[in-house]
Amino acid sequence: MPLSIPVTWSEAHRLHAPETAVWVGVPIEADELPERADRIRSALEEAGTTVVDAQPHDDSPLLAVHDPGLVEFLRTAWATWQEAGMPAESGQRDVVGYIFPTPGLLAGLESRVPKALSARTGAWSFDTMTAISRGTWEAARGAVDTALTAADLVLAGAPAAYACCRPPGHHVTRSAFGGSCYLNNAAVAAHYLRDAGHERVALLDVDAHHGNGSQSIFWDRGDVLTGSVHVDPAAGWFPHFLGFADESRAGNLNVTLAPGSDDDAWLAGVDQLVAAAREHGSTALVVALGVDAAADDSNSPLGVTEQGFREAGRRLGALGLPTVVVQEGGYVLDTVGPLVRAALEGIEEGGAL
């Protein structure tokens, strides 16, 4: 039977093609590549899905979850960097931060927007890995439209829709980008469903890394439940400073896994997220679907199999809620497509769509 979950898609993703990321001061090879999305799309087309072009939306759903200053910075950063001659002056083609207004630096004083362009990036970002290159804004904004178009399909009656978002988004907070993410596609979709009349929405994140941005955006809100199952930051994994089990409280659940965890432990974590959504009384679901918990993905030390992703899909689908699935991580080009396909087929099987 063909996959009935439609895929929303923006060609603009290709415009974001970073060559390097800066880690501990060293340029490393980028792995959040355009080919990821292309491989996913091919695998889903082979499964018989329908591809729907992302429709443009105005900025209001974006500004509902992000600081207008962050959005404006991302929109203008590349052009401003070029116009100021920074590539020639600094030797850096892309926009990369170097000084960050941490609590330790500010010592309680309010952060200001620095005059120097080289310093301004640090006001809106939290790492050096996430460079802004030519086309990053267009791709990130296209990813938001991709998520919103999937939400539109679900609001119009589709049981589920999958947004093939690239770049990913779940690490972005209200006012800071990082972790290879620029705008929080899943958070935008969750708030949009909320605005469209779903009084309680669950945003469940099964990427191998903690969805710190989504957690912080909805931290003080009971209407959007955030839940994340991920490798324990206490074991030394990104985002290092957030995602600990003891951050769980009403409206937020973090399930942490030891490195080496396999299908059984991961699926038990997924079950906890599903139970939390039931208890929350959510009437709509957003799944932040990263597949980097896969055994062959070196971005995490987890060992989830294709069968594990299918089973997770079944358990999420069994909630029986209108579901928007948003792509997050997953970096092994040969397997990213089949893993996403398995998860979506599982959702379909679980929900008897």
Single residue of 32, 292, 297, 348 touching Zn ion by CB under 5 A? 292
Q: Which position's Cβ is nearest Zn ion?
A: 329
Interaction of residue 290 with Zn ion, rule CB under 5 A: yes
- Catalytic pick among 171, 198, 230, 280: 171
Strands (E), 91-223: 160-163, 201-205
| Residue 166 binds Zn ion, judged by CB under 5 A | no
Least separation, in Å, of the C-beta of 207 and Zn ion?
4
Is 198 a known active-site residue? no
Residues 40-79 that bind Zn ion (CB under 5 A): none
* Count of residues in contact with Zn ion, rule CB under 5 A: 6
Judged by CB under 5 A, does residue 207 bind Zn ion?
A: yes
Distance in angstroms (rounded) separating the CA atoms of residues 50 and 29: 33
Taking residues 318 to 337 in sequence order and writing x for each that binds Zn ion by CB under 5 A, - otherwise, the string is: -----------x--------
Residue number with CB closer to Zn ion (208 or 267) = 208
Cβ–Cβ under 8 Å, residues 336 and 295: no
* 202 vs 208 by CB, closer to Zn ion: 208
Q: Which stretch binds Zn ion (CB under 5 A): 34-42, 56-64, 209-217, 301-309?
A: 209-217
Token representation of residue 326: 């948003």
Amino acid at 185: N
Distance CA 56, CA 58 (A): 7
CA distance linking residue 213 with residue 176, whole number of Å: 9
Sequence-ordered alpha helix ranges (H) in 84-125: 86-90, 103-106, 117-120
For 122, half-sphere exposure in the C-beta direction (CA atoms, 13 angstrom radius) is: 16
Q: Which part of the chain contacts Zn ion (CB under 5 A), choosing from 16-24, 126-134, 262-270, 287-295?
A: 287-295
Residue 300 CB, shortest distance to Zn ion, in Å, is 7
Min dist CB 273 to Zn ion, Å, is 16
Residue 228 is inside which H or E element, if any? strand 224-231
Which of 41, 141, 191, 209 is close enough to bind Zn ion by CB under 5 A? Answer: 209
CB 6 within 8 A of CB 164: no
Q: Shortest approach of Zn ion to residue 65 CB, angstroms?
A: 20
Nearer to Zn ion, 37 or 208 (CB): 208
Both tokens of residue 272? 């906890």
Please give the sequence-ordered ranges of beta strands (E in DSSP) within 95-134, or none if there are none.
none
Site string for Zn ion, 167-206 (x = CB under 5 A): ----------------------------------------
Q: How far is the CB of 257 from Zn ion (least distance, A)?
A: 13
- Give min distance, CB of 258 to Zn ion, in A: 17
Cα torsion 296, 298, 299, 302: sign: positive
Q: What are phi and psi of 30, to 5 degrees?
A: -75, 145
Place of tokens 């998520």: 147
Catalytic residue numbers read 171
Q: List interacting residues with Zn ion (CB under 5 A).
A: 207-209, 290, 292, 329
